[in-house]
Structure 1
Amino acid sequence: MSLASDFAGLPTRAHSTPPTRDFSRYRIVPARYPARTIGTVFAVVVIFAIANSVLSNPRWGWDVFAEWFFSEPVLAGLGRTLLLTLFGTVLGFLLGTGLALARVSGSPLLASLSWAYVWLFRSIPLIVLLLILNNLGYLYSTVWLGIPFTEITFASWSTTQFITPFFAAVLGLTLHAGAFSSEIVRGGILSVDQGQHEAAAALGLPRRRQFSRIVLPQAMRTILPNGFNEIILLAKGTSQVYILALPELFYTIQIIYRRNLEVIPLLMVATVWYLVILSVLSFVQHHIERYYSRGALRNPPPSLIGLALARLGRSRDAAAARRTEAALAQAGSYQAGSSAVAAPSLASLQRSGGEIRISNVSKSFGPLKVLDDVSLVLRPGSVTAIIGQSGSGKSTLLRSINHLERVDEGFIAIDGELIGYRQDGDTLYELKEREILKRRVDVGMVFQSFNLFPHLTAIENVIEAPLSVRGVSREQALAEARELLARVGLADKVDAYPRQLSGGQQQRVAIARALALKPKVLLFDEPTSALDPELVNEVLDVIKELARSGTTLVIVTHEIGFAREVADEVVFMEAGRILEVGPPARVFAEPDHPRTREFLAKVL
């Protein structure tokens, strides 16, 4: 049985294309959220009530607070607190990183030693550890440096003189932080995909370079939130060194209020200073996380670290490296496209698709304008291939069709209906997200990197949307999912997890998942760019069968041979603009625009 006859048996939905409507004269009213307004008013009332209570009650002793907040003893104690936090953080994370590397090393003995350390020092309360270190002279009268298990000694000191209260505090905080930070760093290392380690090793990078340049920058996204939590706990944990009679911030405050009996005002002095420390750490964390979010977000916000590096000229090197990688990836895609093998022609399946009307659409990410006054009409049931160099706006235009990207100007309608807005007379009201989700089910999408749910099997991936969106019974959803997976050649993989499938198999599961909702329009975002060349054909064959089904297909692709064979219309984009539209025979053989001719000369 051919794929054509298989797809012909699927349930179809009849759609009548409404008359074309011009939305350019309508006024857009942003969506309103009454619950947010109520919550905001409630928050304002609570904040005002708390502020009024604190500021109007004379028993808080704000005059005493003001007298001691910047006093010399308090600032000296604050300095010791900051110094203890700095030493504990730096030494603790250095120790923790070493322990984490030992834990994931190939040495069972080293890993066991690391585990034992973490188990021991996470179990001992910090205050107990500080007392043990402060009384270490009872166990060992001297501390010496020499060769173990011999009589050779280079130097020795009296333990009670060597381990001062400050040294005991730094050592205790370091040992305590090292145990917790070890697990934080280890978790970050394990969060990096194994393929990253293998790719770095294949390039011949030294192990240290693999860790510092490949593993650690990606692990930092996981390490940072928990790591800063540990630093904040460490900053507050310095208050426990009062047990050593070390005059840090909290111990200094205790001494003062025992003399003047102004307990609450002095405790507020300590509280506010701890709040200042926390706020500074939170600010630093925010910008470090922004810096390490590069590559994880489509439109990352600027960070102070990134701006500083840009001023030093380091960002120019990174931009050059990114341009080189993009050029290499583009060249690889072109090579893959040139090796595509045509599938046999099959009969049309006569499935009804939807009309897509794109009117004067513009979209910017910060200062970068990725779509510039784009207008296009795609007929129902047509197959459109969008081509162009990387960064030309192809994927952004595709994502705008189903409102995954909200356009800045213009409109996109499917069968005369806007996905993101509701019409009321001459006014367009922006829809809330739950309403957009309901309209979006008529527009299926197959992503470039598959985006399968890794914790669900193939069949669970396919049935998830019909169960929760369409309200289909589980029995019906399972039956249709098995049928779809069989028609894309994966009848024997229904219970396999995505990690157990090849790239081509994962992409075919993604196609089956999109088809399960029986959409009017199906969008493909470079469906073969992440595949091995040997796996490209199996995915292209499925798309070719879908092209004869009557569903409206929009395909962003670098596979020029595939676009020539399957598409009814080819769109060439450059710098966010559509430069040329036409049938494949004309666009590929006799393009009108000189930039199209230049592009095709490089890829054909």
Structure 2
Amino acid sequence: MTLASDLAGLPARAQTAPYVGDFSRFRIVPARYPARTIGTIFAALVIFAVLNSVFSNPRWGWDVFAEWFFSEPVLAGLGRTLLLTLAGTALGFLFGTLLALARVSGSPLLASLSFAYVWLFRSVPLIVLLLILNNLGYLYSTVWLGVPFTDITFATWSTTQLITPFFAAVLGLTLHAAAFSSEIVRGGILSVDQGQHEAAAALGLPQRRQFTRIVLPQAMRTILPNGFNEIISLTKGTSQVYILALPELFYTIQIIYRRNLEVIPLLMVATVWYLVILSVLSFVQHHIERHYSRGALRNPPASALTQAFAWLRRHVPAGRAPGGEQVALAPSPSAAATRPGGEIRIGGVSKSFGPLTVLDNVSLTLRSGSVTAIIGQSGSGKSTLLRAINHLERADQGFITIDGALIGYRQDGDTLYELKEREILKRRVDIGMVFQNFNLFPHLTAIENIVEAPVSVRGIPRVHALAEARNLLARVGLADKAGAYPRQLSGGQQQRVAIARALALKPKVLLFDEPTSALDPELVNEVLDVIKELARSGTTLVIVTHEIGFAREVADEVVFMEAGRIVESGPPARVLDTPDHPRTREFLAKVL
């Protein structure tokens, strides 16, 4: 039997080739989802039934509702509710933030005090707290201001006169809200990746600037949803101050319906006003969350406010001040003002994490303007040594100097005094660092990442810093990405922005912690090319890398580390081609 006869025996349809051509003439039938259609119909019926029941039943008393909704007593009670909400929210979150900072501080006693406050006031019901504060005069007849444990007194007040029902309500809401908001703020702070803290510290940003500019904006993404839930709970919680006979919205409604016995219509008045308040809060929450979500999405949809501002920008002449005068950009400082590299001396440095010794008596001298590649297997102490150079890790023993100056200590004769963090940050400015995982600030654009440190640390005018940042972006091949957020960039582009950010401070020393390990192979070369160009700039470079070919091409010296020790160091030709130590030969045999 032949192949031809086999084919002849097949059905004619099986021999017909599939149609391939222009499909534009075909009609497309959308996929149908019967369950979705049934669900939509069911939801519409439920909504119609509820609205029909509410508006067709005369017992709801909508005429009474309309009579009292805008009445003077109700509006006065509404005003007190809003005032209590505003005061409780502002003071509660302010106090709660201080408690959260105390909780994450380095003081065990302060952290314990904060924990005790949160534990106590989250346990006590709000209505009980209000009653205790309203009857505080029973426990303490007077309140005084003076120096504790002395007879020095500046002022004295009668407790019953000082703590009025309104004051007791504000104080109770504040103390109650602070306990809950403290945990909300603390959770937000802890949600920020540790790499963001280290990147800010490596740039030398002052601690206050780190918190307000880097940590808090990212923490707000976690804080806001829970924070607004707390504000909404506080708004409804103001109804509990009726126990103090304070005529806020709910107490005012109670007084009215006890007189006219129209309970349901009056309760609906309160309900609708609470709905109005919470709708406004939800609107505000939505737009604040959008503001702090910058950089979180690759292509975020534009809000109505954003579109309005964009329309205004399109219709206002570019480069003109409000008065109509042309704004001239200040000239850029010289881009060639590169500082000479610093000499690094590492003497007897050891570092342990618990029982694990990561660095063991490491000594090394790296001359000014040199390029040093540190190689070795994972866990050999390479990254820890790099972090010890800029004092992100404090050495247990030994010292590291840059041009003879210690980073973490002040010398006075034969005594070394450990510096406080704010002084270390100032000295750390001379040591730039590029992290393995980039650690760009996700809520800032590429150019804002670069500008942040020169403006806040070096004190460079912002217009000059922007001009220099554009030069740096062009230098690393990203001139067209100035306004992009990190999430909108590829891994290689993010690493190049990180390099530009480190260069913006014109450091004496530039540290690279495995700058290509988090990149796809196709992106490695674009980062290595930038580092090669930097190697010719005169800045002292120290590079932890697994790219042996790159180390051979760029480095002046190669250092091989094993188990926290320097096993071998020297020129690339000797260490990589004819190593002296058998462990070096064994390592290179596996990676080459």
TM-score tier after normalising by the smaller chain length = 0.5 to 0.7
C-alpha displacement of 1:32: 4.8
Look up the SS of the partner of 1:209 in the other structure. helix
Cα offsets for 1:359-385 (capped at 9, x unmatched): xxxxxxxxxxxxxxxxxxxxxxxxxxx
Whether 1:55 and 2:63 are equivalent positions in the alignment is no
- Distance, in Å, in 2 between the alignment partners of 1:398 and 1:103 is 36
CA distance 1:309–1:124, change in 2 (3 Å) = farther
> 8 Å contact 1:449–1:530 — kept in the other structure?
no
Residues 1:321 and 2:448 aligned together? yes
User: Which residue does the alignment assign to 1:246?
Assistant: 246
Aligned residue identity for 1:199: A
Distance 1:215 1:326 in 2: 25
Question: Shift in Å at residue 109 of structure 1?
Answer: 1.0
Q: Distance in 2 between matches of 1:31 and 1:392?
A: 40
Instruction: Give a deviation string over 1:512-556, Cα, whole Å, max 9, x none.
Output: xxxxxxxxxxxx7x4677899668875999xxxxxxxxxxxxxxx
Tell me the SS of whatever aligns to 1:157.
Answer: strand
Which residue identity does 1:249 align to in structure 2? Answer: L
- Report what 2:174 is aligned to: 174
What are the residue-to-residue correspondences of 1:578-593 with 2, within 5 Å? Answer: none
Matches within 5 A, 1:66-215: 66-215=66-215
Q: Is the 8 A contact 2:85 2:234 kept in 1?
A: yes
CA distance in 2, matches of 1:27, 1:527: 47
Q: Secondary structure at the match of 2:300?
A: coil
The answer to whether 1:217 aligns with 2:247 is no
Contact 1:448 1:528 in 2 (8 A): no
Name the structure 1 match of 2:40.
Answer: 40
Q: Is the 8 A contact 2:118 2:180 kept in 1?
A: yes
Residue 181 of structure 1 aligns with an amino acid whose one-letter code is S
Distance between the aligned counterparts of 1:250 and 1:262, measured in 2? 14
Letter in 2 for 1:321: E
C-alpha distance 155-273 of structure 1, shift in aligned 2 (>3 A): same
Query: Structure 1 301/389 Cα, relative in aligned 2: closer, same or farther at 3 Å?
Result: closer
> What is the CA-CA distance between 1:41 and the residue it aligns to?
1.8
Contact 1:326 1:390 in 2 (8 A): no
Deviation at 1:34, TM superposition (A): 3.8
Q: CA deviation at 1:19?
A: 11
Unpaired stretches in structure 2, ≥5 consecutive residues = 1-17, 320-328, 330-443, 451-465, 496-512, 532-542, 551-592
Q: Secondary structure at the match of 2:297?
A: coil
Deviation at 1:203, TM superposition (A): 1.8
Q: Structure 1 residue 308: deviation in Å?
A: 8.4
Q: 1:61 to 1:528 in 2, by over 3 A?
A: farther
Quick one: structure 1 residues 154 and 203, their matched pair in 2 at CA, closer, same or farther if it must change by over 3 Å? same
Aligned to 1:145, the other structure's residue is in SS state: strand
Note the C-alpha offset of 1:24: 7.0
Query: What is the rounded CA distance, in whole Å, between the counterparts of 2:125 and 2:146 in structure 1?
Result: 31
Residue type of the alignment partner of 2:121: F
> 1:269 matched to which residue of 2?
269
Say which SS state the counterpart of residue 271 (structure 2) adopts. Answer: helix
* Maintained 8 Å contact 1:126/1:172: yes
Distance in 2 of aligned mates of 1:232 and 1:202 = 39
Residue 163 (structure 1) shift? 0.3
Residues 260/297 of structure 1: CA separation in 2 closer, same or farther (3 Å cut): same
Q: In the alignment, is the contact (CA less than 8 A) between 2:295 and 2:487 conserved in 1?
A: no
SS at match of 1:109: helix
The structural deviation recorded for 1:178 is 0.3
Change beyond 3 A, Cα 1:147–1:528: farther
Would the alpha carbon gap of residues 505 and 307 (structure 1) be closer, same or farther in structure 2, given more than 3 Å must change? same
1:218 CA displacement:
0.6
Distance 2:487 2:220 in 1: 28
Partner in structure 1 of residue 231 of structure 2: 231
With over 3 angstroms needed to count, the CA separation of the structure-2 counterparts of 1:529 and 1:102, relative to structure 1, is: farther
Instruction: Using the TM superposition, give the Cα deviation of residue 207 of structure 1 relative to its aligned residue in structure 2, in angstroms.
Output: 1.1
What's the secondary structure of 1:226's corresponding residue? helix
Structure-1 separation of matches of 2:247 and 2:115: 34
Q: Secondary structure at the match of 1:148?
A: coil
Aligned to 1:298: 298
Q: CA deviation at 1:43?
A: 1.3
Shift of 1:503: 6.9
One-letter code aligned to 1:186: R
Q: Which letter does structure 2 place at the counterpart of 1:208?
A: R
Post-superposition offset of 1:301: 3.0
Cα offset, 1:333, TM superposition: 6.5
Larger radius of gyration: 2
Instruction: Check 1:262–1:155 CA distance in 2 against 1; reply closer, same or farther (3 A cut).
Output: same
SS at match of 1:49: helix
Task: Indicate if the aligned counterparts of 1:448 and 1:527 stay in contact, CA closer than 8 A.
Answer: no
C-alpha separation in 1, matches of 2:23 and 2:547: 41
Matched length: 358
Could you tell me whether the CA contact under 8 Å between 1:143 and 1:156 is conserved in 2? yes
> Which residue of the partner structure matches residue 416 of structure 1?
none
Instruction: Say if 1:222 and 1:328 are closer, same or farther in 2 by CA, change over 3 A.
Output: farther
Residue 322 of structure 1 and its aligned partner are, at CA, apart by: 6.9
Cα deviations by residue, 1:420-461 (Å, 9 ceiling, x for unpaired): xxxxxxxxxxxxxxxxxxxxxxxxxx99889xxxxxxxxxxx
Distance in 2 between the 1:27 and 1:326 partners?
52
Within-5 A mapping of 1:335-484: 390=481
CA gap 1:131/1:504 in 2 versus in 1, 3 angstroms: same
Q: Does 1:259 align with 2:259?
A: yes
Q: Structure 1 CA distance, aligned partners of 2:241 and 2:96?
A: 21
| 1: CA distance, partners of 2:488 / 2:118 | 51
Cα distance 1:24–1:208, how it changes in 2: closer, same or farther (>3 A)? farther
In structure 1, how many angstroms separate the alpha carbons of the residues matched to 2:544 and 2:91? 49
After TM superposition, give the deviation of residue 328 of structure 1 in Å: 3.9
Distance (Å, rounded) in 2 between the aligned partners of 1:392 and 1:161: 58
Structure 1 contact 249–270 (Cα < 8 Å) conserved:
yes
Distance 1:106 1:264, change over 3 A: same
Tell me the CA shift for residue 176 of structure 1: 0.3
Q: Distance in 2 between matches of 1:32 and 1:294?
A: 37
**C-alpha contact 2:514 2:546 (8 A) present in aligned 1:** no
Matched-pair contact (CA < 8 Å) for 1:333–1:529: no
Aligned to 2:394: none
* Contact 1:96–1:182 (CA under 8 A) maintained in structure 2: yes
Query: 1:321 Cα deviation (Å)?
Result: 3.5
Q: Describe the SS at the equivalent of 1:155.
A: strand
- The question of whether the paired residues in 1 share the 8 Å contact of 2:516 and 2:527 is answered with no
* Closer/same/farther in 2, CA of residues 118 and 73 from structure 1, 3 Å limit: same
Q: Using the TM superposition, give the Cα deviation of residue 198 of structure 1 relative to its aligned residue in structure 2, in angstroms.
A: 1.2
- Are the structure 2 counterparts of residues 149 and 162 from structure 1 closer, same or farther at C-alpha, using a change threshold of 3 Å? same
Q: Note closer, same or farther for the CA distance 1:528–1:224 as it changes in structure 2 (3 Å cut).
A: farther
CA distance in 1, matches of 2:477, 2:19: 39
SS in 1 for 2:231: helix
Structure 2 distance, partners of 1:35, 1:330, is 55
Distance of aligned partners of 1:217 and 1:504 in 2 relative to their CA distance in 1, 3 Å threshold:
same
Asked if the contact 1:80/1:249 (under 8 Å) is kept, the reply is yes
Identical columns (%): 74
2:157 partner SS: strand
Call closer, same or farther: CA 1:389–1:152 in 2, change over 3 Å. closer
Quote the offset at 1:37 in angstroms: 2.8
Distance 1:81 1:269 in 2: 14
- Judged with a 3 Å threshold, the aligned counterparts in structure 2 of structure 1 residues 536 and 36 are, in CA distance, closer, same or farther, namely farther
Would the alpha carbon gap of residues 121 and 297 (structure 1) be closer, same or farther in structure 2, given more than 3 Å must change?
same
- Aligned mates of 1:145, 1:398 — CA distance in 2: 58
8 Å contact kept, 1:221–1:292: yes
CA distance in 2, matches of 1:307, 1:133: 49
Change (3 A) 1:330 1:78: same
Separation in structure 2 between the aligned mates of residue 233 and residue 397 of structure 1, nearest angstrom: 37
